[in-house]
Amino acid sequence: MFESLSERLGGVFDRLTKQGALTEADVLTALREVRVALLEADVSLPVARDFIKRVQEKATGSAVTKSITPGQMVVKFVHDELVRVLQGDGQADALKIDNPPATILMVGLQGSGKTTTTAKLAKRLKDRAGKRVLMASLDTNRPAAMEQLAILGGQIGVDTLPIVKGESAVQIAKRAKTQASLGGYDVLFLDTAGRLHIDEVLMDEVQSVRDIAQPREVLLVVDGLTGQDAVNVASEFDGKVGISGVVLTRMDGDGRGGAALSMRAVTGKPIRFVGLGEKMDAIETFDAERVAGRILGMGDIVALVEKAQETFEAEQAERMAKRFAKGMFNMNDLRMQLEQMLKMGGMQGLMGMLPGMAKHQAAAAEAGIDDSMLRRQIALIHSMTKRERANPDMLQASRKKRIAAGAGLEVQDLNRLLKQHKQMADMMKKMGKGGMMKNIIRQFT
Ligand code: GDP
């Protein structure tokens, strides 16, 4: 799985991590190579482009700790981005098989590995979850396909619906539902007919079966070796019948892996399982972290950077606490606080954590205090020079204009930020003088 992509990226990062000091140009060159590697692995162009853009943004805006090199940092960012692309907005759920008999509709093109996958999943549910499973083939065009499922069922010890000649797919689906209920099965797999290409007749049939069967899951089986085609097939099936997830087969082959990387971003549907061979237990749940680890093969570096980042954050917090204790609070401190707030789930997240904050939350939303405001404020501070951040009082009208323009905002936004900073700095100073801040910090550390 992913051998060629993995090799290519390995080459890029080996060079990058061996260099000590890196210029921005070095990073850009490396990222350009990553982009080529992604495209060669058949990742779709917009996905590859977005991928690089996000890594680049992180790389340019990040502080690097002393214990790691910029190259290692870039590896970590690429790793994080791989995980994000693979898993979308969350890890894929387990199969929904409560309320027995739960029907799982298997759809896909002929030869994608649909029948094999049906049997693999049935075996898995039987072996691992102790479920009673029934499988039925709806492929009325190919008696051989029905027999194949029956043979596989015999091998893995899972029941199949007896074959009755002359029935339509919908009739078989109805009979299977009845049989599953009467027979006390937990899960019913319906293995629909596949075609070589997507056509109207096939889609109509799958839709009718879906309406009758009311499945808990509609799993699309696609051949991972077909790259972007697999993604296109998924988009079409999803548009026509609606799918709840994807199974990528033949990921044991030397596929280029692009399908796995583009699937979630393009279709919005999670990859639920990957097929890794012809044997009945050659299937795995899809785990974005694990797959990203396999693609990058640089787990050590990723772990190292994570550790360094934690230490860095702890050190930073300590440094800030010391500064506050002395009553010091400049623009950099404010920026760090704002970034911390964003990290903790933004304003909404922060307020949600405090008891009785619901009504304030609504008020804050009304007053326009939200994450986008935090981001705007951070952008403003970013466009100041180092000296200006240390001493914002020095800002003249012309600089204010340029800073606001640099962040794509108005001067009044900057003035509001400066006022806010001044209020906080004054408060810190007062507290610092009275030793109050020290006491507060002592209580919390
Ligand atoms: P269907 O027409 O979609 O039902 O496809 P089949 O289930 O009959 O599979 C077609 C061929 O692909 C069979 O020879 C399977 O053994 C093989 N196959 C299915 N899944 C995998 C997989 O994950 N890896 C490999 N190497 N072969 C697979």
Residues 313/321/372/385 CA torsion (nearest 10 deg)? -90
pLDDT of 256 strictly over 80: no
pLDDT tens sequence across 321-338? 787 777 788 888 888 878
Rg of the chain in Å (alpha carbons): 28
What residues are designated binding site for GTP?
Answer: 108-115, 191-195, 249-252
Q: Cα(114) to centroid of ligand 1, in Å?
A: 7
Give start and end residues of each alpha helix (H) in 62-130: 70-87, 114-129
Q: Which protein residue has the closest C-alpha to ligand 1 atom 19? A: 113
According to CATH, where is 3.40.50.300 located in the chain?
102-286
Q: Which protein residue has the closest C-alpha to ligand 1 atom 16? A: 278
* Amino acid occupying residue 321: A
pLDDT at 434: 57
pLDDT at 281: 93
Task: With residue 28 as reference, give the H or E element that holds it.
Answer: helix 24-40
Rounded CA separation 352/326 (Å): 31
pLDDT at 354: 47
The token pair at 228 is: 């972007």
Residue 193's nearest CA partner among 158, 149, 247 is: 149
Lowest-confidence range among 166-170, 345-349, 395-399?
A: 345-349
The token pair at 39 is: 């495209």
Bridge partners (DSSP) of residue 191 are 106, 137
Ramachandran quadrant class, 111 (left: phi over 0; alpha: psi -120 to 50; beta: rest): left
Bridge partners (DSSP) of residue 103 are 188
Nearest-atom number in ligand 1 for the CA of 251 is: 23
Q: Cα(162) to centroid of ligand 1, in Å?
A: 23
pLDDT grade, residue 29 (50/70/90)? Answer: confident
Q: Which protein residue has the closest C-alpha to ligand 1 atom 6? A: 113
Residue 249's nearest CA partner among 415, 121, 158 is: 121
CATH architecture of 3-90: Up-down Bundle (1.20)
Residue 336's nearest CA partner among 395, 396, 389, 402 is: 389
Nearest-atom number in ligand 1 for the CA of 116 is: 7
Q: Cα(111) to centroid of ligand 1, in Å?
A: 6
pLDDT tens sequence across 77-124? 898 999 999 988 766 678 898 889 999 999 999 999 999 999 999 999
Q: Cα(249) to centroid of ligand 1, in Å?
A: 7
Q: Which protein residue has the closest C-alpha to ligand 1 atom 28? A: 278
Whether residue 112 contacts residue 197, with contact meaning beta carbons closer than 8 Å, is answered with: no
Q: How far is CA 328 from the centre of its chain?
A: 40
Q: Cα(133) to centroid of ligand 1, in Å?
A: 21
Nearest-atom number in ligand 1 for the CA of 282 is: 23
Q: What is the percentage of the chain residues whose pLDDT exceeds 90? A: 40
pLDDT tens sequence across 350-407? 454 444 445 555 555 555 556 778 888 888 998 898 889 888 888 899 999 999 998 8
pLDDT grade, residue 243 (50/70/90)? Answer: very high
Q: Can the peptide bond before residue 101 be classed as cis, meaning omega within 30 degrees of 0?
A: yes
Rounded CA separation 2/292 (Å): 10
pLDDT at 347: 54
Q: What is the DSSP string of 131-165?
A: --EEEEE--TT-HHHHHHHHHHHHHHT-EEPPP-T
Phi, psi of 198 (to 5 degrees): -70, 125
pLDDT at 11: 85
Q: Cα(203) to centroid of ligand 1, in Å?
A: 21
DSSP 393: G
pLDDT of 445 strictly over 60: no
Question: Kind of pairing, strands 133-137 and 187-191?
Answer: parallel
Task: Find the mean pLDDT for residues 242-265.
Answer: 87
pLDDT of 444 strictly over 90: no
Whole-complex ipTM: 0.98
* Ligand 1 neighbours by CB, cut-off 6 Å: 108, 110-116, 194, 249-250, 252-253, 275-278, 282
What residues are designated binding site?
Answer: 108-115, 191-195, 249-252
- Distant-in-sequence, close-in-space partners of 424: CB < 8 Å, separation ≥ 6: 329, 334
Q: What is the pTM of this model?
A: 0.71
- For residue 381, with 0-12 CB atoms within 10 Å meaning exposed, 13-18 middle and 19 or more buried, which class applies? buried
Q: What is the percentage of the chain residues whose pLDDT exceeds 70? A: 86
Rounded CA separation 215/194 (Å): 18
Q: Which protein residue has the closest C-alpha to ligand 1 atom 26? A: 277
Q: Could you count the other beta carbons within 10 Å of the beta carbon of residue 244? A: 20
The token pair at 60 is: 């340019």
Nearest-atom number in ligand 1 for the CA of 224 is: 23
Q: Which protein residue has the closest C-alpha to ligand 1 atom 9? A: 113
Question: Kind of pairing, strands 271-275 and 283-285?
Answer: antiparallel
pLDDT at 432: 64
Q: Cα(123) to centroid of ligand 1, in Å?
A: 16
The per-residue pLDDT of the chain, averaged, comes to 84
Q: Cα(281) to centroid of ligand 1, in Å?
A: 13
Bridge partners (DSSP) of residue 107 are 220
Q: Which protein residue has the closest C-alpha to ligand 1 atom 20? A: 113
Q: Which protein residue has the closest C-alpha to ligand 1 atom 5? A: 113
Pick the more confident residue, 74 or 370.
Answer: 74
The CATH label, of 2.30.40.10, 1.10.260.30, 3.40.630.30, 3.40.50.720, for the domain at 326-444 is 1.10.260.30
pLDDT tens sequence across 34-47? 999 899 888 999 99
CATH topology assigned to domain 102-286: Rossmann fold (3.40.50)
Whether residue 27 contacts residue 70, with contact meaning beta carbons closer than 8 Å, is answered with: yes
According to CATH, where is 1.10.260.30 located in the chain?
326-444
Task: Find the mean pLDDT for residues 260-284.
Answer: 92
According to CATH, where is 1.20.120.140 located in the chain?
3-90
